[in-house]
Structures are given as C-alpha cells and as structure tokens.
Structure 1
C-alpha cells in the first residue's frame, strides 16, 4: 500500500501506535529488515527523551513508517500540530496495537472507577492524533482480546469494520499449548507458596506479575535474600528506560531466571522461552489474565500459567471460565506448609529490621496492593470487604497495619498480631538517609499536625453552619414539624438503602452463577 501511494520525500505512509516503549522497540526491530529491502525509512517516537529532540527528528528526517506511543505523539502534536499534519497527510495505513487498552481506559474514564490524569490524556490524545491523518485510510486494530462493541470501534473512525479472528478452539481464548492452573491457599501463605513453587523449578524461566510498582520494588528486595543465587530481574513503571531495557534483555538471554514485573511486561513482549507465568493476585481487568498468560506458550511452544487464589477468591475461577473462556485446573504446592509460611514471615521481618528502606517499601507495597484490589473489575464477586486483609498483611510480613481510607470500616483488623519491635529504632542501611531521618520525621510530623488542624477547623465550620440552619428553623416556629419531616426522610433513605442492598445481593448471585454477560455487568455498573 505504501509503495502504491508513491510517497513524496518527507511523507509518512504508515502510522503504528503501541501502548509501551518496549513494544514500539520490538515492532521497529521486526519491521526494519523488510523496510530496508523496500527502501523505506522507519522511525520511532516514545517517552524517555526530550520532546524537542523528537520534533527535530520530524523536521530533519524522512519518515515513511512511524512507530509511536500515543502519549508522546500527542505531546509533539501539542507543540507542532501543523508540522505533524503536513507529515501525515499521505498516511495510507493506521495500525493500533493492543486496541482493547484504549477501550478499557475509556470505560474507566466514563464511569470514574479508576480515574487518573493519564487516562484522560490517553483518550484525548487519540482524538488529536486521528485529526492529523486522512479519513480515507486503512485502519487495523490488533489485540489478543479484541474490542467487542461497535460503539468502541467508532472511536477509531472505522466504517464497515470487518473482524478477523484467529483461534484454535471456538470456546477458548488460550492456545492449545498453554496450560492454565490455579493454586488455592490462605492469604497469609501467598508469598510462601510463590517461593516454594519457584524453588521446585530450578531449571525453568519464570515471570511473576505483581499488582503495583511498589510491590515489585519490595519483593525484589525480599526475593534477592530468599532465592539465593537464582538470577533475579525486575521491571516496573518507575524504572528508567535504559534499566528496563537492560533487565528485559538480560532476562531473555537467561535460561532459568526469575523476572518480577507489573503489567509493563503483560502485553506483546516476545520472549519465546518463558516456561511459567505466575500471577500473585487478580489482574485489574479479567481480560488482562489472557495477556499476562500469553507471555508463555508462544510460537507453538508449550507453556504454563499459574494464578495464586486466596480461599475467599475462588469465585474468580468460574468468572474467568464464563467471561474470558479460560479454564483453570487446580494444582497444589506440596512443599508449602503453614510452618514454612510462618518461618518465611519471620525471615522477612528480620530483613525489614536490617534496613528501614525495606520496612517502608513493604508498607507502601501493601497500601498499593489494597488500592489496586479495590479497583479490579471483578469487585462484585471478589470484593475488598471479603478479602482477608490481615492474612495479606502477614503475607507482606508487616510489623504494623497502615491506616487507610479503604480499611477504615473494617471490623476484623484487631485480629492482626502487631509486632513488639519498636519500628522507630530501625535504621536505614544507607548512612545518608539515616543522617537525614530526624529532619524528615520532624517535617512529616509538622505536616501531619497542620493537616489535622485544617480538617478539624473545616469540621467545626461545617457543624456551625448546620446549627445555624437548624436554629433558623426553630425560630420560624417549625421546629417540631421540621424534626418529623427529617425523621420521615431518614426512614425513606434507610428503606431505599435496604432495597439497594437486596438488589446488589441478587445481582451478585447472578454473576457468580454466570447468568450475566460482561456487557450486562458493565451496564449495571
């Protein structure tokens, strides 16, 4: 198509959008040998470098095929929209990799479930990018879990869309060479089960997904001390570009390494010889299970995927079967015992006591885990209210339970066995951090006092306004009637809340029985 278009010097014939830097680099690596034979130039635009450098490249280089992350291309358009529109006027082909990610972010933004700044930019950037390229073009959307609704396709400007589905089995989302397993375990034994499973497979290459960057940072420090000489790698969103690239490269070249990661490794990354993919907890979206598991069993090779399911999360197994067409087979980790789990917890506590940085990393990791769990899309069948929070805290080997808004109404937190260790006496292993600790603690305390004082002032002002309003009612001679009306409204609200609770319970039962489709669940939400 690009050759037929007979591009003029400086014209771009194809635009490929992909959600991560690593995927963009991988795509360029695949395209370049073909492009060179056809005398076509390929360039990439991703984050991690200055926008001015990208703009300079657009001005000075001939680009026939552009591979970009949407966020960075949007930034360049904000600076030089006229330049980009001129370069893109001859685009014949738009390719969007991992197209369902755009749909998921729109869903989050629309229902304000997991709203954050970047999701808003992500959606808006697509509109700006599409405004710079011709409407008469060929558009291809690619993903292991495709966009399903026609309304979603309209965002990409598709008309008369045709779907091409590549599947070995009509009723399965996974390749036949991939075996999916789950292991049921108490929440407080998750870390122990994960480590025991890895130790049993000394000759296997393993990729482990954790729910947040903070979890990866913390468990990297723990696993380094628990796995001995086993090669260990880690990548997450807070890593620098060169570090991420070097870790992925080292892991791909290793034969029995262990990589711990967030979802930055979940999509498209092609490391062909991964033997096992382990998921420490439920993914944010059930469709992400397919993407994560897809890092193994690639190109016809056999592969295995395992998810650690706490006892209270068992309904998730049926949910995956009903809504993602993924069947999980139960397995056990015979070498794990409750005694080993407790021994590991004590060892993790000693590790935290050796360095305050690890102690703080553990608390941040647990907080991030809870925040992530509260936002996953199966919260109706695996809700935060049902989660064994105390058990999970023990799996992280916490010495203290942090105060969190998400846990403020919990009645079971008194079951947590608070450690007798005086955490304020635990020192940083880094002498510079330890030297500055006193000043940092003082500033933190002063800030906390100011915040509490501001909250108390706001509360008192609100109370005063309420009393003033009530006083005005009584002075107008409507005190008794006003109270009765207020009581009626309170009873009505209570009745409505009880009806809502009954409806939610009925809905929950239908979801657990698989009677609602995923679209119906979204509509209800």
Structure 2
C-alpha cells in the first residue's frame, strides 16, 4: 500500500501551481494592455473604482486597462504585493500612476517629482514584481540593487520594502557604512535577492567579498539620482556600473530630473521613459507649503532661533545648519539653556545605529531636531510643522529638498529661511526660479527677540568643553561659507566675524588662516582647504593644531593647521626680536663619567667636545678653551690621572 504524501508537500505543490498560473495571467495582462512608449498614463481617463480588474468576463477574454488607474488593486501585480500594500496604501499618487504602467512593462524610467510625492513605492513595486515573476530564489543570488546616497534614507527604504514585500519569499538586506558586522554581511550577501545599500558599502563588498556575484542582476535603482550622479559619488558609481551587467532594467528617481547625456550614458539607460509629473506645475515646492524668508544679521541668528523655538513649544521643528560642529554646539548650548521642548541632533559623524534611533524618536514625538543636510534628502519625517533653515542653502535644489521634509503628501507645512544681509541675492534667485518658489519676505520683530549671548558666555565659562565646541562651530561655519561656489551669495569677507564670535559666547575672536587674499588692504582670516567628501554629509573636519616649535621660520604653516600660531619676528640679520613662550632651547647633555676621579680638570676643543687627557697635555695651554680658565695667571695645566 502506498504511503500518502505529507499534507505539507501537497500544499507547497499547490501553491507553486497557483503562483505559476498567476504569473502567466499577469504577463498576459501586462503585454495585452501595456501603454505605448512615450505616452502619459495621467492623460488616460481612469476607470471607476468598481470596474473589474484583470481578465474580463465574456467570450472575448480580454483584460482591463491599467494605464491611468488610481487604485493599486487595479494594477497587474501579484496578490502578495496587493496584500502588503493594503496595510497602508489603497490609492496611488501621481508619480506612481505615471511610472508604474511603464516600469511594470520592463522599461527604463527617469522620474522626477516633488518631495513627499511617493517616489519610493514607484520603484519598490516593480522590483518585487520583476523578481517574483522570474521565480527568484536564494540560489539565484542578487537580483536587484537599490542605491541610496545616505544611510538614513537606505534604512527608510528597507523598512518600506519589508512592508510591501511582507508576504513574498524574497530575501533582502541593508548594506550601509558605519556598521561593524561586515564579516557577517560577507557570509550572507550572496544569498540575498534585493540589496538596499549606499554606494561605498556596496563597492566595498564588490572589492572584498569572495565570489560576490551580480552577473544575474535584473533591476538597478538609483534613489535621489541627482545626488548619486554628482561629483561626490562619481568614482564609486562608475566602479559599480562597471561590475554589473548592461542588460537590465534601470530606474532613476529624484526630486529634480537630469537629462544629461553623460549621466544617462554612465548608467546605461536605454530609451527611458521621461516622467516628470510636476513639470508643468506652477510651483517647484509642495502646494500646501507656506514659505517665509527673513533677513537676520549673522550675530542675531541664535537669538532668532531661540526666540522662534520658545514661541513654538508645541510644534515639531526641523532645524538645518551647515556643519556637524554647529549642530553639536547649538544642541548642547540650547539643551543647557532648557527651552521647554525636547531637543535632538542628527549629523553625519554619528554612528548609523544612533542616527536611526534619533530619527525614529523624532518621528514619534514633538521635539526639535538640529541637523545637517544629511536629513534633507528622502527622509520621511511625519507631521513636521516647521522647517527652519538657519544657514543659507548652497543652491535652489538644496532648498527644495530641505523644505520638502514638511508638507508631505496631503499634509500642511511651513518653512522659514534665515538670510544674512550679504545673502539677499539668494532670495532673488528663489523668487525668480522656474518653476516658481512662492517664498515671501518678512521683517523679524526685533522687540520679540530674546538675547542669549550673555547666557552663552556664562555657559562657556562654566563648561570649558563648550568653549572648544563654540570655536569649532565658528571655524566650520566660515569654512562652509568660503567653500561655496556661488560667490554672489556667499562672501566670507562681508561677514562680521567679531560680532559673530561674540554671539556664540566667545570673548576672543578665533584667528583662522586664509589664503593670501586681502580685504581692503587687510588679510582675510579664513583659509580655503579642500572639502572633505564622505558622500553622506556636508560636514567639515577641523585639523589638530600643531605645536609652535614645529612651525618652520619664513615658511607658511601647512593647510590643515586651522588656528594661527603666534608668529616669530625675525630681523634681517637673523636675530630674534621675540621668542615664543613655549620655545625649548636644545643643549647637548653632559654625560657624567663615574670612573673619573673628583676634581679632574677637563679641557674642551673648539667644537666643545671633551679632549682626552693625553691630547690635552700635548696640545698645551694655548690650545684649550679659554672660557674655562679660572684666571689669566693659571698657565700650568695640572692633570690628575
């Protein structure tokens, strides 16, 4: 008698048959109703919500159209994907409606949409569906790579991928820098089907992981493509592209669209669909976003920021500053001043786990987050009430990405930009941008300002470590201004350095070396150094100060010496008029000879070396060192041997 097959085996076999039937249906549906290349699905009249989806009943055996539909349930995607989407999403956004009909057909996509418009699902769904229909498994290796410019954005994409793909059997992994489990990643990376990663970490595995294989790659995704394709990631991206197959589907998404032939050729895009759902939009920023700009003197910025926070204690506020050192100083100073609302900080020098923990805490609570531009791209902070830009953005795209952290999807939001009097040109550029940026200029209410400079000075006296933070914040801000390319907006020579230092609580303005430029006959105090590129942040390193004794005379100190050492003044003959207080005189040490009897007279040659007793006796009294003679009458050297 034959033994019955286990129930589990029958269930597995039945499930595989159902999957095969579903895949065949989806392929037929997509092929039969795919939109023509170059068409805009948004121009198609959407079917009613109650319309049947899939194979239509009747003798014709046709399929329902999916170009132009508004509901995820009307798309030709698997049941498992629809179940994952149903937990959070039912209706598609414009970028999803415009791109999914083309990407599900296997076409390359170059998409652009405003921040907070739902670009993430526009590429996660095609990735999952492509591998599902190919019956991808662990033995097939890496099938898709999703590249993000920052660790935080990569982590957010990974969480979204887990939500949508919850009911699929595909494996996925998060590969970002700053994590210590590289060896564990190397052991498992070849068994993962989808990799969500930053460029540096992916390239590290390509170079170091044995048998790392991407030869079967099906889909490549570049999120925030404009950032990934710029100079900061150019070498890494070129190295990655050279190690993956050219025959693949490529999806590029960003808030700003690039049509550079060089960029498109680098990633091997072939006949891409150009999708820019907001290309004809009146504004470049979300419609529900109210934007203000204020002309605030540099020395009043912290007073203005403190006063703003004190007036919005029940709001979730995201504050942007130029450098890590500024973020650390403002966070530590305001935390000690206690404004009455929880404070947090986020910057690129933090470990990845710490940054993600802070990101999640800020998402779940009403607080103030001080951050560099590491938080300006892609991160989805729910219910942010205000975006405050204390420092001027480097260009218009950076401004758009910053303010895009609020007013996401259908939410309302507000932003305020602080500009110094020398940065008024940026306001003109924003107001004349195309598409328009509806930003209004408003005068600050000086009577409402709370002055905190005196309190900061007290903090610096009470906490010595705060004084170092203040100095570094001062240095890195000036350096960030000097390194900007747009000199119409950023001119470090127009900044009131002494007043700015005093506003940070510093009693003495730190002196900073600068290239040999002059400001009305005076040397400028800031030095240009090469910008540190880490690919994920806009922070600047402050080099360690060298000892004064190591600075060579008549020679400029090295570029990484930020703080000025005291100069040594030398006259034309080489005599020192002033010596540094820390100068150490080098003298030859005299060795004590324990074998020489006490009272032995020593003689020295012209170079100051001790002469052997026999040589001293032969040389006679005239050849000795006259400086050591006790009196002129002592002409008879007495040697005690």
TM-score band, normalised by the shorter chain? Answer: 0.7 to 0.9
Structure 2 vs 1, CA of residues 360 and 140 (structure 1 numbering), >3 Å: closer, same or farther?
same
Contact 2:514–2:524 at 8 Å: present in 1 too? no
Looking at structure 2, the residues matched to 371 and 457 of structure 1 have their Cα atoms a distance apart, in angstroms, of 17
Work out the CA distance in 2 between the residues paired with 1:414 and 1:350: 31
String of CA shifts for 1:349-395, please: whole Å, max 9, x gaps: 11111111100100101110011111224223332233333443333
Equivalent in 212, 215, 220 of residue 89 of structure 1: 215
| Higher deviation after alignment, 344-353 or 389-398 | 389-398
Q: Which has the higher contact order (CA 8 A, sep 6+)?
A: 1
Contact between 2:285 and 2:400, CA under 8 Å: does it hold in 1?
yes
| 1:8-32 CA-partner distances (Å, limit 9, x unpaired) | 5232221100011111111111111
Give the alignment partner of residue 219 of structure 1, picking from 316, 321, 330.
330
Q: Runs of 5+ in structure 2 lacking a partner?
A: 1-129, 526-543, 559-641
1:464-494, Cα deviation, whole Å (9 max, x unpaired) = xxxxxxxxxxxxxxxxxxxxxxxxxxxxxxx
Structure-2 separation of matches of 1:453 and 1:240: 41
Aligned to 1:230: 341
Match of 2:317 in 1: 206
The answer to whether the Cα contact below 8 Å between 1:18 and 1:67 also exists between their aligned partners in 2 is yes
Give the conservation status (yes or no) of the 8 Å contact 1:178–1:302: yes
Equivalent position to 2:420, from 274, 286, 310: 310
Is this contact kept in 1: 2:425–2:488, CA < 8 A? no
Gaps of 5+ in 1: 107-118, 417-443, 459-525
Check 1:34–1:280 CA distance in 2 against 1; reply closer, same or farther (3 A cut).
same
Aligned length: 407
- The corresponding residue for 1:504 is none
- Matching residue of 1:266: 376
* Higher helix residue share: 1
Shift of 1:457: 11
1:72 is aligned, of 201, 217, 226, to 201
CA separation of 1:146 and 1:218: change in aligned 2, threshold 3 A:
same
- Give how far 1:403 is off: 2.0
* Equivalent pair of 2:148/2:228 in contact (CA under 8 Å): no
TM-aligned CA deviation for residue 313 of structure 1? 1.3
| Superposed displacement of residue 409, structure 1 | 3.2
After superposition, the C-alpha distances for 1:387-437 in whole angstroms (9 at most, x for unaligned) are 333443333232222222348734599999xxxxxxxxxxxxxxxxxxxxx
Equivalent in 135, 147, 161 of residue 272 of structure 2: 161
Distance 2:261 2:496 in 1: 39
Instruction: Map 1:297-446; keep pairs closer than 5 Å.
Output: 297-323=407-433, 325-334=436-445, 336=447, 340-341=450-451, 344-406=452-514, 409-410=518-519
8 Å Cα contact 2:149-2:199 kept in structure 1: yes
Among candidates 150, 164, 169, match of residue 39 of structure 1? 169
* Stretch deviating more after TM superposition (30-39 or 244-253): 30-39
**Structure 1's 320 and 72: CA in aligned 2 closer, same or farther, altered over 3 A?**
same
In the alignment, is the contact (CA less than 8 A) between 1:13 and 1:64 conserved in 2? yes
Q: In the superposition, relative to structure 1, how do residues 347 and 455 fare at CA in structure 2: closer, same or farther (>3 Å)?
A: same
Partner of 1:196: 307
**130-139 or 46-55, which moves further after superposition?**
46-55
1:292 has 2:426 as partner: no
- CA-to-aligned-CA distance 1:212-267 (integer Å, 9 cap, x gap): 00001110111113343310001111112222122212211112x11101111111
Match of 2:551 in 1: 451
Structure-1-length-normalised TM-score? 0.72
SS of alignment partner, residue 339 of structure 2: coil
The more displaced of 399-408 and 189-198 is 399-408
Task: Please tell me whether Structure 1 or Structure 2 has the larger radius of gyration of its CA atoms.
Answer: 2
Q: CA distance change for structure 1 residues 286 and 388 in 2, over 3 Å: closer, same or farther?
A: farther
2:179 is aligned with 1:53? no
* Distance (Å, rounded) in 2 between the aligned partners of 1:160 and 1:392: 53
- Looking at structure 1, the residues matched to 151 and 133 of structure 2 have their Cα atoms a distance apart, in angstroms, of 30
Tell me the alpha carbon deviations over residues 160-206 of structure 1, each in whole angstroms, 9 at most, x when there is no partner: 23321122862421010111111112221111111111111121110
C-alpha RMSD of matched pairs (Å): 2.7
1:17 equivalent in alignment to 2:128: no
Shift of 1:346: 1.1
Q: Given the superposition, is the C-alpha separation of residues 391 and 166 from structure 1 closer, same or farther in structure 2, using an over 3 Å criterion? A: farther
1-structure distance, mates of 2:218, 2:447 = 57
| Distance across 2 between alignment mates of 1:390 and 1:70 | 41
